[in-house]
Structures are given as structure tokens and as C-alpha cells.
A and B are shown apart, each in its own frame.
Chain A
């Protein structure tokens, strides 16, 4: 029995257009033009309990529109959507009591209050029974190492500390479903790892279903068993990370460090796609030329300091899926 069922979801927004300059502003006084923007053009997928899904796509692809519909704060134009057996926007209050949401860009904590007071207030808002609250609070404090932060006003927290507190805040009422929107944005490397570890623990040990939207492909690679790619309001791909890779390209990269930075490198079966000082990146198709053969050929012609083979970074794969453009953000 899937936890989330989305079928053929559609949503169109009306956007006002404005002409530039004083002339445009004056024309705008008289009448305004509108343009219909299709944010979702028939999106369908299902999620089973306990999945950890990455939901990715370029800006404006319909990611946040989908998440808003699933969270019950946006009503779609058409299609079916059921989350935990409910139509989110029809029973908003019952629905949101069952889910947790974290927006990386903004906090749900009270700015001027010590963290612990925000937690207590959330208990009252979600009407969590006292005993359950104490248990889940203490667990979260231990897991996220929040003890030293509890009495600090939120405005004095660093971004990483705040994100840990926000994660705890979203989970105090023990939701079965967690939406994470850019949870690692702007965090330092250590905090990112801590957040990822926590999400993994939450999913594996507590069985919380997690939907993660992010621009950080390291998040995806570290966490997600399944990746849904949305582009232009439509699902462009849905499956495991490996399947996604295979679908887009079989390409491998050979990274070579040469002794001579000025050497000209050419090969009939590989393409130089990047050059940075001593380092050269060659893309090749392993079906056309065996990796060992290619390495032998290069080593025979040039003085090689070091070399290694890797899969193209996930950003490149995603970028190709969107249609050859550069990744939006590394």
C-alpha cells in the first residue's frame, strides 16, 4: 500500500508581465498582461513506506510546486493525489499533523526564543501527549547533539546548528513522512555530514519516509535509493541512481596527470573534455575501447604521472537529462 500516490497532477499559474522602463510602468497603469505558466504538466509517481527519494530538477521545473501540493498547502488544477490515505488540501489540519517539513532557507523556530521553548510551543501546537513528547524530544536531542544549544536564542545559532534544531522541530510529533527542501544549503562540510547521517538514521532505523529536494548531488549520492527527476513540469526519469546513469550515458572519464603540461593529447576513441594544467580529462565509451587499451596507448605516448577512471559526476548526468545545459548549482 503506497504512502503517496500522485497521478497526472497538473497546475498552471498566471503570472503578470511588466515591461521595463518608465514607459512600461506607465503602460502597466492602464492594463497588465498575463501569461500562463504550466508548473506541473501531468506528474505521476508512487512512494512506498520507508523510501528515501531524491526529487530533483532545475529551478522552476515544478519541484516546489509538487512538494507544496503533497504538503497540502497548494491545490492542483487536476489529477489525483493521496498522501497517507488523505487528499492533503481537503483535510489540511489532519494531514499536516502527520507530516514534517523542513525548508533549508527558513526556520520554523521562534527567532528570539531559546530553542527549547520553540520545541515546547510546537508540542502545544501539535498536541503531542506529554510522555510521547518527552521521549521523542530526548531522542532527537541525543541524535542531533542539541544539548548545548537548547538555551540559546535561535538568532544566535550558526546555520548548521539551526538546521539541526529545525530537523528536530519537524520531527517532535513523530511524523511518518518528512519533506526536506534543500536541508544542506549553505552548510559547512561537517554540518552537511551530520545532517546526512541523521537523515539516513531516521530513514533506516525509524522507517520514516523521506522526500528530499536538493541541488546538492552529494546529498543524493549519499542518501537516495531512488531519484525522481522533474524537468519542465514533467517527470524526466524515475529509478535508482545507477539506472539514471545508465539511461543517460555509458560514458566513463579518464583523468590523466601528465609530466608535460603543454603536451598535445589526441586519441581516436576518446575526447578531451577538460584541461587544467597538468590534468587532462578524457571521456570515452568503454564499449568502444577497453579502459586498459586506452591507458596503454596514452602511457606509450606521454609521460604519465598518475591516472584514474571515474563515472561522470552526477551533475553532468542531470545536466544532460535536462537538455545539455550546465548544472544549476554544483
Chain B
């Protein structure tokens, strides 16, 4: 068990070092992020100035929601594992599938690392800048802050489970080009990354509540803002974890089926 933990820690560490080497890329990415944030702030600002009608979220909350979104953007399941993609292109994935190790756990942890490292590298400076200069408030209470941290951890697991599913889809679609073009925009829309979910029509809310994507962005952010009171953190975590468990089960199923197919067909 500890050996496995070490192996996974090594994967995360390697990822960090690789990312750090791209200092310029990191800076450029940060500037781009900031720019996108400004565009979105201005658009929502204009909408709020256009209507005096009461809205499900205050203007200030939406601004906070946007900057949190810019900070946590890398957390979303937006791509497939490039190494697995390479293995499938070259055909070496067959060896990988028949190796005596828990492949799902390995791919999941790679997916986790692929989200965690860039999220931390991008989120920390973005949050600091947003707190200092862009009017992002600290959580209204310690409880809200703690609830946000817990829900972000839940979001990370949920996102990794989704990303692993994307990667697994490569075993069928091979290139994954179609999947990575259809799924991420859908996830952005349904998670709240593009438009804060409470601003969608009221009739759509029950559906959004049910789907897993809310747990990636919307519920953690609203816990941070106090828009969801911290005592509801249990329900949020339960929603995230039940979905994570379901997606992990589905992923393991799919992987087992891919392996079986491979063994039967002999590659």
C-alpha cells in the first residue's frame, strides 16, 4: 500500500517538475486566464446594469464566482491522457492492459495528477491576485472556507473520475478527437464554468442538480461565497462522492471489458 502511495506521489512530483520548466508558458497561461476573466466580468457587469429585476445571485457573488472559475479552470476534465493516447497510437497499450497491476488505479492517479498540479500552479497566484486587486472577497466565514476546501477535494476526485472515463473512451474511439471536442464544452456549460448555474432558467435547475457536473464548479464556489450555507456541505459532498463512486465503477467495468476483448481477440 505504501509502495503504491510512493509510486503515485512520484507521478505527481514528476508532473510538477515538468510544469515548472515551462516558466514562460506558465506566465502566458496566467495572463490569458486574467484576460478571460476580465472579458467575462465585463459581460456580466453589463447584464446586471441592464436589468433591475431581482436575480438568483447578486452581482458581487457572480464576480467572485467568475474569478474562482478562472483560478480553478485546470481542475476540469478537459483532455485525455496524452501518454495513453500515445500508447494507443503505437499499439503498446496491449501490454499495459495485460500487466498484473491495477490499471484503473494507475490511470486514475495519472488523471488526478494531471488536474492537481496545474490547478495548484494556476489557482494560487490567481486567487492571490484576485484577493488583492480584483475584489474577490475571502469566504464570509471560516466554516464556509472549510466547506469550500472539502468540496474542492470532492470536485477533484469527481473530475479525475470523469477524465479517466474520457481516457478509457480512447480504447474504443482510438483518436479521441471527437470525444474531446464534444465532452469538454458540455462540461463547461453544465458545471457553471461559462455561466453560473443559478442564472439558468428555473425549470432547468432540477436537472442540473441531478447531473454530476454541478459538483465540479458550482457547488464548491457557492459554498465559498456563502451562497450555499456551510451546513449544507454534507449534501454537496454526498452528491460528489456518490457520482464519483458510480463513475469509478463504470470506468472499471469498461476497462475490464476492453481487457477481455483484447484477450479474446489476441490484440
CA A29 to CA B121, docked complex, whole Å: 13
A18, chain B: closest CB distance, angstroms: 7
Which of A19-27, A48-56, A245-253, A311-319 lies on the face that meets chain B? A19-27
- Considering the complex, give the chain A residue whose CB is closest to the CB of B19: A25
Give the residue name and chain of the B residue nearest to A30 (CB): B23
Contact residues in A for B20 (Cβ distance below 8 Å): 22, 25-26, 28-29
CB-CB under 8 A from B26, the residues of chain A are: 29
How many of chain B's residues have a CB under 8 angstroms from any CB in A? 6
Give the Cβ gap from B1 to chain A, nearest Cβ, in Å.
Answer: 26
Within 8 A of B (CB), among A221-246: none
Q: Mark A88-103, 1 if CB is under 8 A from B, else 0.
A: 0000000000000000
Q: Is the CB of A29 within 8 A of B23?
A: yes
CB distance from B20 to the nearest CB of A (A): 4
Chain B residues 9-24 with CB under 8 Å of chain A are 16-17, 20-21, 23
Point out the residues of chain B lying under 8 angstroms from A28, CB to CB.
20-21, 23
The residue of chain B having its C-beta at the shortest distance from the C-beta of A18 within the complex is B21
Interface residues as binary, A1-26 with B (CB distance below 8 Å gives 1, 0 otherwise): 00000000000000000100110011
Q: Which chain A residues border B21 with CB–CB below 8 Å?
A: 18, 25, 28
* Distance in angstroms between the alpha carbons of A28 and B21 in the assembled complex: 7
Closest Cβ of chain B to A27, distance in Å, is 10
> Residues of B contacting A25 with CB < 8 Å?
17, 20-21, 23
Q: Are A21 and B23 in contact (CB under 8 A)?
A: no
Q: How far, in angstroms, from A147 to B217 measured CA to CA in the complex?
A: 60
Give the residues in chain B near A29, CB-CB below 8 Å. Answer: 20, 23, 26
For the complex, what is the distance from the CA of A28 to the CA of B18, rounded to whole Å? Answer: 12
Q: In the complex, A25 Cα to B23 Cα: how many Å?
A: 8
Taking the closest CB of chain B, its distance from the CB of A19, in whole angstroms, is 10
- The chain A residue with its CB closest to the CB of B16 is A22
- Collect the chain B residues with CB atoms within 8 Å of residue A22's CB: 16-17, 20
A283, B4: Cα distance in complex, Å: 57
A25 vs B16: C-alpha distance in the bound complex, in angstroms?
A: 10
Task: Give Cα A26 to B22, complex, Å.
Answer: 10
C-alpha gap A29/B20 in the complex (Å): 8
In the complex, what residues of A have CB within 8 A of residue B23's CB?
A: 25, 28-29
The chain A residue with its CB closest to the CB of B27 is: A29
Q: For A22, give the chain B residue with the smallest CB separation.
A: B17
- How far apart are the CA atoms of A28 and B17 in the complex, in Å? 12
**What CA separation (Å) do A21 and B20 show in the bound complex?**
10
In the complex the two chains form, what is the Cα distance from A28 to B23 in whole Å?
7
0/1 string, B15-46, CB within 8 A of A gives 1? 01100110100100000000000000000000
In whole angstroms, how far apart are the Cα atoms of A244 and B16 in the complex?
52
Min distance, Cβ B118 to any Cβ of chain A, angstroms: 15
Within 8 A of B (CB), among A119-135: none
* Pairs A–B under 8 Å by Cβ, sample size 16: A18-B21, A21-B17, A22-B16, A22-B17, A22-B20, A25-B17, A25-B20, A25-B21, A25-B23, A26-B20, A28-B20, A28-B21, A28-B23, A29-B20, A29-B23, A29-B26
Leading 5 A-B pairs by shortest Cβ distance: A25-B20, A29-B23, A25-B21, A22-B17, A28-B23
User: 13 more A-B contacts (CB under 8 A) besides A22-B20, A26-B20, A29-B26?
Assistant: A18-B21, A21-B17, A22-B16, A22-B17, A25-B17, A25-B20, A25-B21, A25-B23, A28-B20, A28-B21, A28-B23, A29-B20, A29-B23
